[in-house]
Amino acid sequence: GAVVSQHPSWVICKSGTSVKIECRSLDFQATTMFWYRQFPKQSLMLMATSNEGSKATYEQGVEKDKFLINHASLTLSTLTVTSAHPEDSSFYICSATGGWGTDAETQYFGPGTRLLVL
């Protein structure tokens, strides 16, 4: 139980294009989803927190107009990197809370999406 998936697992795009990453809770309804970013040899950094049906809360320094988050249902959140540039190349990871039969506040993580912007 408490499985989170992400799609795609990796993506390569040209500079200036937009990329959408999906995060799904497969066997539970996620009341809250989180988006993290991890650069090589660094730890995870939280980008934003989203609750179903409401606007995401962004961490300081994260541009909300560049990283669009939509949490339209209890099982799906999307992160869109708009006008991507090479410095946006990173490992993007989502997590979700709200599992059935588990500690509802434990965050379960997806496998991550590796983005390379050329």
Partner 1 sequence: DAKTTQPTSMDCAEGRAANLPCNHSTISGNEYVYWYRQIHSQGPQYIIHGLKNNETNEMASLIITEDRKSSTLILPHATLRDTAVYYCIVRVVGFGNEKLTFGTGTRLTIIP
Q: Which residues bind partner 1 (CB under 8 A)?
A: 2, 4, 6, 31-32, 34, 36, 43-46, 49, 51, 91, 93, 95, 97-98, 103-112, 114
Longest CA pairwise span in the chain (Å): 43
Q: Which residue number, 56 or 81, has a Cβ lying nearer to partner 1?
A: 56
Phi, psi of 87 (to 5 degrees): -70, -10
Nearer to partner 1, 14 or 101 (CB): 101
CB of 51 to partner 1, least distance (A): 7
Distances (CA, A) of 78 to 41, 72, 101, 102: 25, 8, 25, 24
Nearer to partner 1, 48 or 84 (CB): 48
How far is the first Cα of the chain from the last one, in angstroms, to the nearest whole number?
37
